[in-house]
Amino acid sequence: MELFVLEHKRLWRTPRVLLCVVLCFLYSVVWGSVFQYQWIGFGTTNDGTDIYGNDFDGYSNIRGFQEEFSQFGDEWTDETLQKIVAKYESYDMYERPGLRSMGDWQLASGFLSKLYPELEDPEGQQYQPLIHYVDTTKLTDFYQRRADLLEFTLETTRQNEGMSEADKQMFLDMNSQIEEPWPYEWTQGWANLEFGWSKMAPYLAIALAFIFSGEWHSNTAPLLHTTKNGWKKLARVKVLNGLAFALEFYLLIAGGKVLVQLIYMGTSGWDLPIQYMSLEAVAPWNMLQAELYELAFGLIGMFGYAGLVMLMSALAKNNVLALVYSLAFVYVPDILGRYLPKWLMALSQYLPLVGNSFDYLNYNVFHIFGMSVWSPWMLISVPGLIGIVCIPLAIMKWSRRQRV
């Protein structure tokens, strides 16, 4: 335990590590959360003199929109859709331009284009979104129309992408668990649900890539096996040290972003179904469950990536190579995506911190030993398994080099 504490203090006191932590916190929490809520994303739209066209008043603006959209009721029904569209048509958008992005008009407009295409005006108004001129009395049968759309989408996916009939039925069964009518309140505040875990990879790589390779760089590696603790114990302590750092780093960033979200949004909207993000989604989750999945995706991805980085550090005696190898796993799939075979590109999405945490909005399925496995479950298990495999390999590889 004493050796672990010493190694952990040594890691945290490294200027490189401290700089990474501070920069990532400023980028992800201060800029990516505080400024997004208070200014860039949710500030009141001004006359355009500001670089982002918004004032620095997001907190009060969010409260105003939460109150404004509470007038449409607490359930999503045909009447709710009709009221929102009618309210939009009554506004002068030139006087209140912020309504275009901040209100749930985009939500309603997207629903109209997907569920009521026959209401588009053939006389020329089709060049404007349907929400500008539609007869609201014709906006009926919302849930039946969504069911028809879902059936059509799944059947198209089955025919074009090889989805089996059993997989299609699995998704329909998932959809049947969604309770109707959906609860409703202002939804646009959930636009910041994504945590952007892949953007944390460079900071974690810079912090951990030198754990083993750094000993060779400082010419201390050949001496470590002569200490009373032995090379194998030191290797295990270094790995535990790296995993502990990854957990602390995760808690700092994730905790900061969740805290900012609670300050600006409160618990409002936790019970909203994820179908507000994608009308064709079938998972019977609400926004809170989706966020818990996002947090699990980040935690497991961070652990998996930490194991991968430490393996690269053990394989390379050069700090630069260890860092380049670690970053390659995150950025090469994106850079070479269009040139890779489709199957290889699909597999690369299961590398730690690489995949799309919003895959629960899609219809991706894997068939393993005759069982259909929904892709989101793979996305939070495979990266962890990669980390579990990498850790003993890192210990073994570095230990062998110590004896050479």
Residue ranges of domains in the chain: 2-40+190-400, 72-183
In one-letter notation, the amino acid at residue 9 is K
Residue 183, classed as helix, strand or coil, is strand
Per-residue pLDDT of the chain (404 residues), as tens digits, is 888 999 999 999 999 999 999 999 999 999 999 999 999 888 887 765 556 678 889 999 999 999 989 999 999 999 999 999 999 888 765 555 555 567 898 899 999 999 999 998 877 665 688 998 899 999 999 999 999 999 999 999 999 888 899 999 999 999 999 999 999 999 988 876 778 899 999 999 999 999 988 776 555 555 455 555 557 788 899 999 999 999 999 999 999 999 999 999 999 999 999 999 999 999 999 999 999 999 999 999 999 999 999 999 999 888 999 999 999 999 998 888 778 888 888 889 999 999 999 999 999 998 888 889 999 999 999 999 999 999 999 998 887 755 54
Residue 222: per-residue pLDDT: 53
In one-letter notation, the amino acid at residue 330 is V
CA 47 – CA 302 distance, rounded (Å): 42
First to last CA, the chain: 27
Residue 52: per-residue pLDDT: 65
Alpha-helical runs (H) found in 274-362: 287-315, 319-335, 342-348
Residue 66: per-residue pLDDT: 92
Q: Which residues contact 311 (CB under 8 A, 6 or more apart)?
A: 390, 391, 393, 394, 397
Residue 41: per-residue pLDDT: 86
CB 185 within 8 A of CB 269: yes
Residue 246: per-residue pLDDT: 98
Residue 370: per-residue pLDDT: 84
In one-letter notation, the amino acid at residue 154 is L
